[in-house]
Amino acid sequence: MHRVTLIRGDGIGPEITAATLRVIEAAGALIEWDEQLGGVAALNEAGTPLPDATVASIRETRAALKGPLTTPVGTGFRSVNVALRREFDLYANVRPAATILPGGRYDGVDIVLIRENTEGLYVGHEMVIPVAGDPKAVAQATAIVTRAGCERIARFAFDYAIRHGRRKVTICHKANILKASSGLFLEVTRDVSERYHGRIEVNDVIIDAAAMKLVLDPSQFDVIVTTNMFGDILSDQIAGLIGGLGLAPGANVGDRAALFEAVHGSAPDIAGKGVANPSALILAACLLLDHLGEAAAAACVRQALVTVLRDDGVRTRDLKGHATTVEFTDAVVRRLA
């Protein structure tokens, strides 16, 4: 029996989390859920978006499944996602994207993007000089890139490629312009790649060229490793190649814990309407099952999901279907019976 922290989330989070729990149970995975609060629900009940009890639970279980959380724009509300990454040093963001639905713009897409999750511009070291509202004010942001941070994400990417039978790792960077920060990332990642010589093919591509190449021919990519902001942008682009964020799971992995989630947001505009697509969170739960050593259950869930979407044609409206969240979940559960 595995013990895992569960955060249902905001907006559509509770709906797609309920669907995901049904699917995991139907697959026969033995998980004891320790349910905790996060986001707006936690703010309303506990006065903070990230209660100490939630942090303590993850510290104990070392694994969490999280529904999407809302971070209101323009307030002092702390991003729970960022706070959790910092609290548990979840330095590797893993976002796989594989073609599920046929007949799209591309067939056979199978890319894993591995993004450094704790450094770069997203550390949030910003200031406005001298003060906001001054016509001569200057906004300044500082990117933090460390040799240690670059080395560990590079090792993670190449180890992931070896462990999952991948053939190539592409380093995406902007070292031609950002010679210090992106230059260090490229230098260190190239050095790490030498340890895998003869086992994994490696190349490097400037980030804007990589974005173009992904659109022209995504088959030339296998595993991509890149920095925080570039990875954030490219992962959404890659999700677009397979039908959108509704099919995009993510994992945030560190040495002390791992957190699994759907890539998309809380979609408050459709919350409570019963039309949300739970596929991304179900696929994130598959990543969780893999992490827990429940690979057989994960494979069964993935196959059931693919069969429902491809063969049964049961799809939610974001995938041009008419099924409700419950109807879609019922179809997946039936395939697992």
Asked if the model's pLDDT at residue 2 lies above 60, the reply is yes
pLDDT tens-digit readout, 62-116: 999 999 998 655 445 557 888 899 999 999 999 999 999 876 678 899 999 999 9
According to the model, what pLDDT value does residue 164 have? 96
Mean pLDDT score of the chain: 93
pLDDT-based confidence at residue 10 (cuts at 50, 70, 90): very high
pLDDT-based confidence at residue 123 (cuts at 50, 70, 90): confident
According to the model, what pLDDT value does residue 317 have? 95
According to the model, what pLDDT value does residue 70 have? 83
According to the model, what pLDDT value does residue 106 have? 87
Q: pTM score, two decimals?
A: 0.93
Higher pLDDT, 44 or 328: 328
CA separation for the pair 105, 242 (Å, rounded): 8
Average pLDDT score over residue span 120-147: 85
CA separation for the pair 128, 93 (Å, rounded): 30
- The yes/no answer on whether domain 1-89+256-337 falls in CATH 3.30.420.40 is no
pLDDT tens-digit readout, 176-213: 999 999 999 999 999 999 999 999 999 999 999 999 99
Average pLDDT score over residue span 255-268: 95
According to the model, what pLDDT value does residue 72 have? 54
Check if 1-89+256-337 and 99-242 are the same fold.
yes
CA separation for the pair 313, 319 (Å, rounded): 10
Give percent above pLDDT 70 in the chain.
96
According to the model, what pLDDT value does residue 130 have? 75
Structural domain boundaries of the chain? 1-89+256-337, 99-242
| Residue linked to tokens 């893993």 | 94
Give percent above pLDDT 90 in the chain.
83
According to the model, what pLDDT value does residue 253 have? 98
| Helix ranges restricted to H, the chain | 13-26, 40-46, 52-61, 80-88, 147-163, 181-193, 207-216, 228-241, 279-291, 295-310, 325-336
pLDDT tens-digit readout, 160-178: 999 999 999 999 999 999 9
- The catalytic site residues sit at 122, 174, 208, 232, 236
Average pLDDT score over residue span 282-303: 97
Asked if the model's pLDDT at residue 314 lies above 80, the reply is yes
Average pLDDT score over residue span 296-300: 97
Helix (H) or strand (E) holding 134, with range, is: none
Tell me if residue 200 falls in helix, strand or coil: coil
Q: 99-242, what's its fold? A: Isopropylmalate Dehydrogenase (3.40.718)
Q: Are 69 and 35 in contact (CB under 8 A)?
A: no
Report in angstroms the alpha-carbon separations of 37 from 49, 125, 250, 256, 325: 8, 28, 20, 20, 23
| Residue linked to tokens 């026969």 | 28
pLDDT tens-digit readout, 205-253: 999 999 999 999 999 999 999 999 999 999 999 999 998 999 999 999 9
